Amino acid sequence: MHCQESFSSKVLVCSLGCFAGDVLDDDGVIYSRHYRSVNVASYPAISDLSDAVQNGYDIVHLFCPLAAGGLIRDTRGKTLAGSELIQKCCDGNVKLLWVANENKPEDYVNGFKAEGKPLNLIMTINRNGARFGQFLEKLLVRISNGEALPLAWTTLVPQCEGPWQQDLPGCIFFAGRANAQFR
pLDDT above 50: residue 22: yes
Residue 23: what are its φ and ψ, rounded to 5°? Answer: -65, -30
Query: What is the rounded CA–CA span in Å between residue 153 and residue 128?
Result: 17
Task: Summarize pLDDT for 91-105 with one digit per residue, the tens.
Answer: 999 999 999 999 999
- The verdict on pTM exceeding 0.75 is yes
pLDDT above 60: residue 76: yes
Q: Please tell me the predicted confidence (pLDDT) of residue 21.
A: 80
Query: What is the rounded CA–CA span in Å between residue 66 and residue 81?
Result: 9
Query: What is the rounded CA–CA span in Å between residue 147 and residue 160?
Result: 22
Query: What is the rounded CA–CA span in Å between residue 139 and residue 33?
Result: 12
pLDDT above 60: residue 87: yes
Instruction: Using pLDDT thresholds of 50, 70 and 90, give the confidence band for residue 2.
Output: very low
Residue 181 C-alpha from the chain's centroid: 15
Which domains, ranges and CATH numbers included, belong to the chain? Answer: 5-176 (3.40.50.720)
Q: For 114-130, what is the mean pLDDT?
A: 96
pLDDT above 90: residue 17: no
pLDDT above 70: residue 162: no
pLDDT above 60: residue 1: no
Query: What is the rounded CA–CA span in Å between residue 6 and residue 130?
Result: 30
Instruction: Using pLDDT thresholds of 50, 70 and 90, give the confidence band for residue 30.
Output: very high
Task: Summarize pLDDT for 54-63 with one digit per residue, the tens.
Answer: 999 999 999 9
Task: Summarize pLDDT for 130-152 with one digit per residue, the tens.
Answer: 999 999 999 999 999 999 999 99
Furthest C-alpha separation in the chain: 48
Instruction: Using pLDDT thresholds of 50, 70 and 90, give the confidence band for residue 37.
Output: very high
DSSP E strands in 17-84: the ranges are 37-43, 59-63, 66-67, 71-73, 79-81
Mean confidence (pLDDT) of the chain? 91
Residue 183 C-alpha from the chain's centroid: 16
Residue 7: what are its φ and ψ, rounded to 5°? Answer: -135, 150
DSSP letter, residue 49 = H
CB burial readout 139-159, b (16+ within 10 A) else e: bbebbbeebbbbebbeeebee
